[in-house]
Amino acid sequence: MSPKANERVALVTGGGGFIGQALLGRLLGDGWAVRNLDFVAGQIADPRLTHWGGSFLQRELLAEAMVGVDTVFHLAATKFPREADRDPLVDAQENIIGTVMMLDRAVEAEVRRVVFASAGGTVYGPPERLPVDEDHPTRPMSAYGVSKLACEQYLRLYDGRGARPLSTLSLRLANPYGPRQNIDKAHGAVTTFCHHAAQGRPITIWGDGSVERDFVHIDDVSRALVMAADAEVHGIQVNIGAGSGTTLNDILDMIERVRGARPEVTFEAARGFDVPRNVLDSRRAQDVLGWQPQVPLQQGVAELLTAFTPLPD
């Protein structure tokens, strides 16, 4: 389906995933024509949404999908964090080189802006100060974090370069959570904890539960991504997080307040790659995007517990 003359076109790589599906819905709600480049189509049905089955690593498919596109939202990654650590070479070959190829295709297609979903929880490494701002040293402790950081640097390299300048923006996302997050892949402590508690399943925690993270609702994440398309700034990194830390034990407390009972918990040995504390300073996002989080974590926990609780027979 061809877009209307005055309709803006977005290409989302990885639109079938958790963040991607939320982004597709918000873009469509804001009047965009959207192309989802992913092996997974997702569950959204809209005449302005087209599915391009495949990967951003497929050069010809990527070039075709970029024709007439205003903004590329690059969410896709071929490896999950644990997989990247097991095989850093393949992760680098696919995600770093693949992202550079994507930037080349974007320049050729005269795309106006590329918005990259980076990982604020991994690119900084052990924090020297909290909350962590964008000028904090970057010392990632995982191959996944190294890959994300390298992609950020390539975006900056391409930004404004050459006869057909490309405008870029990297969003360093905290820990997204919310409905439709894939429980089977064990990503997202808040969503996984709420699902297990609602289903009466035990929760596993590595360490003593004192690990502190910055959890941000998926609605706030998708809103930030869309706002990044038209931000006046470019060529920089922007943190997207709640700006406050929550421990895993705090999440258990929130669940207990809603359900009136504490979930069953099993504590395992701490993992060496888990940074003890990570909280992002998101003041730059407010300054340059006009963004700030809107969904309190306690509200998000209550909504997830309601969604996951089985209906009575």
| Catalytic residue set | 144
Contact status, residue 44 vs residue 18, Cβ threshold 8 Å: no
Chain centroid offset of residue 30 CA: 20
First and final CA of the chain: distance in angstroms? Answer: 44
Q: What are residue 216's DSSP bridge partners?
A: 176
Question: Residue 228 belongs to what H/E stretch?
Answer: helix 218-228
d(CA 97, CA 105): 12
CA geometry: angle 272, 274, 275, nearest 5 deg: 115
Query: Do the Cβ atoms of 171 and 73 come closer than 8 Å?
Result: no
Closest CA to 277 of 128, 135, 168, 71: 128
| Residue 164 burial (10 A CB sphere; 0-12, 13-18, 19+) | exposed
